[in-house]
Amino acid sequence: MASVTFEKVTRRFASGGRPAVDSLDLDIEDGEFMVLLGPSGCGKSTCLRLLAGLEDVDSGSIHIGVRDVTHLPPRERDVAMVFQNYALYPHLSAADNIGFALRIARMPRKRARQRVQFAASVLDMEDYLGRRPRSLSGGEQQRVATGRALVRDPRAYLMDEPLSNLDARLRVETRAQIVRMQHHLGITTVYVTHDQTEAMSMGDRLAVLKDGVLQQVGRPREVFARPANTFVGGFIGSPAMNLFRLPLSAEGVRLGTLDVPLPRGVLRAATAERSARIVVGVRPEQFEVLPPQDRTTPALDLVVEAVEDTGAVVYVHASARSGEGLGDIVVRLPGRPTHTQGAPLRVALRPDDMHCFSAVTGLRLEHP
């Protein structure tokens, strides 16, 4: 096991333009499950390939433990990688696929069988070792590919969107299997995904990237509760955070017909930028839906445009009756849908539930 460190790592491709990875500084602790998260094209897979030695670093350095591996070939880095494409040998059994690297390394057969059996027990694959890939489900094939990396006992596991080809049920099952495996072995793992549900449920910490630039690093709950900027706030969470660009007043902002006070620290920070506006973020679950008969509580008046029923919860897409620049507003409701298209909806909001960002830089505005 070992820690992993990226120091000012930059990677540019021959096509020019912005770097695929731009001055990345990231420390991954020994035994940690780190998730690299971001949209397609953000540079997360490139980071993994740089760590594996499959791409060259243009500047900066990469360390695995105390060892500088920046310019070492992949075989000398002592890492194991699981790809999105399982790449199993169709003519070999699951056991032979898992143990293939051990055979190439000329490990004694008895020891190799023990390692394969251990990997199978960790991944709950004992009953499938004699089967060939064509008789295995997608989730079982993914576990074979994971076992192939597991038997090597590397210093770090690298996983590049390994679950993206699975259906929803198999993704849930397999990600739980991977988390149990990592916790059992305690080996440093770097996991790449664009799926925030995977990231939130699997990682010890998240590293969120955009356009090759690291946006925020932290524990999943911390990143969700205190996004560093509007990109992270809008990317983390499903459905996405509602973001409103609103004019500032002496006490706060006006959200449609609703006057919302803001903390003094936020107002001072926004005023210091000499901006007349601020970006306010509200997650769908942070709106409080008021009963129709409540006409005394200050509220934002909405009109229901569409209802999205997911079974456990309902997401209502609505528009404000008045107010500039509010656009589509998503509100989460518990239970079964009771609102129909065109129906009125009144929601209240507590100032403490709001996320405030600079309209100039997009960065979070903190307050005491």
Collapsed DSSP state (helix, strand, coil) of residue 202: helix
Q: Is the pLDDT of residue 329 over 60?
A: yes
Q: What is the band of 87 on the pLDDT scale with cuts at 50, 70, 90?
A: confident
How does pLDDT run across 294-309, given as a tens digit for each residue?
A: 878 888 888 999 998 8
80 lies in the same domain as 193 = yes
The answer as to whether 330 is a domain residue is yes
**Averaged pLDDT for residues 10-25:** 89
Q: What is the band of 337 on the pLDDT scale with cuts at 50, 70, 90?
A: low
How does pLDDT run across 38-47, given as a tens digit for each residue?
A: 999 999 999 9
52 lies in the same domain as 168 = yes
CATH number at residue 316: 2.40.50.140
Tell which wins on pLDDT, 339 or 317.
Answer: 317
Q: What is the band of 275 on the pLDDT scale with cuts at 50, 70, 90?
A: confident
Domain housing 153: 4-226
Buried b or exposed e, range 168-177, using 16+ CB within 10 angstroms: eebbbebbeb
How does pLDDT run across 180-196, given as a tens digit for each residue?
A: 888 888 889 999 999 98
244 lies in the same domain as 105 = no
The answer as to whether 16 is a domain residue is yes
- Select from 55, 54, 44 the least CA-distant residue to 21: 44
Which strand ranges, in their side-by-side order, compose the sheet holding 277-282? 242-247, 277-282, 355-358
274 lies in the same domain as 153 = no
265 lies in the same domain as 342 = yes
Max mean pLDDT range (138-147, 242-251, 321-330) = 242-251
Mean of per-residue pLDDT scores for the chain? 88
Structural domain count, the chain = 2
112 lies in the same domain as 151 = yes
CB count, 10 Å around CB of 65? 16
35 lies in the same domain as 169 = yes
**Averaged pLDDT for residues 257-286:** 87
Rg of the chain on CA atoms, in Å: 25
The answer as to whether 283 is a domain residue is yes
209 lies in the same domain as 246 = no
161 lies in the same domain as 288 = no
Residues 36 and 11: their CA atoms lie apart, in Å, by: 16
297 lies in the same domain as 341 = yes
- Select from 28, 4, 63, 8 the least CA-distant residue to 212: 8
The answer as to whether 363 is a domain residue is no
The answer as to whether 234 is a domain residue is no
Residues 147 and 149: their CA atoms lie apart, in Å, by: 5
**Averaged pLDDT for residues 272-283:** 89
User: Angle 23-266-288 (CA atoms, 0-180°, nearest 5)?
Assistant: 105
Q: What is the band of 60 on the pLDDT scale with cuts at 50, 70, 90?
A: very high
The answer as to whether 292 is a domain residue is yes
221 lies in the same domain as 244 = no
The answer as to whether 85 is a domain residue is yes
- The per-residue pLDDT for 363 is 95
Collapsed DSSP state (helix, strand, coil) of residue 232: helix
Q: Is the pLDDT of residue 276 over 60?
A: yes
Q: Which of 221-230, 238-247, 250-259, 309-318 has the lowest mean pLDDT?
A: 250-259
**Which runs of consecutive H residues, i.e. helices, occur in 186-229?**
196-202, 220-225
- The per-residue pLDDT for 325 is 59
166 lies in the same domain as 103 = yes
Residues 292 and 330: their CA atoms lie apart, in Å, by: 19
| Domain end (from 226, 258, 280) | 226
CATH number at residue 130: 3.40.50.300
Q: Is the pLDDT of residue 338 over 80?
A: no
Residues 19 and 172: their CA atoms lie apart, in Å, by: 34
The answer as to whether 21 is a domain residue is yes
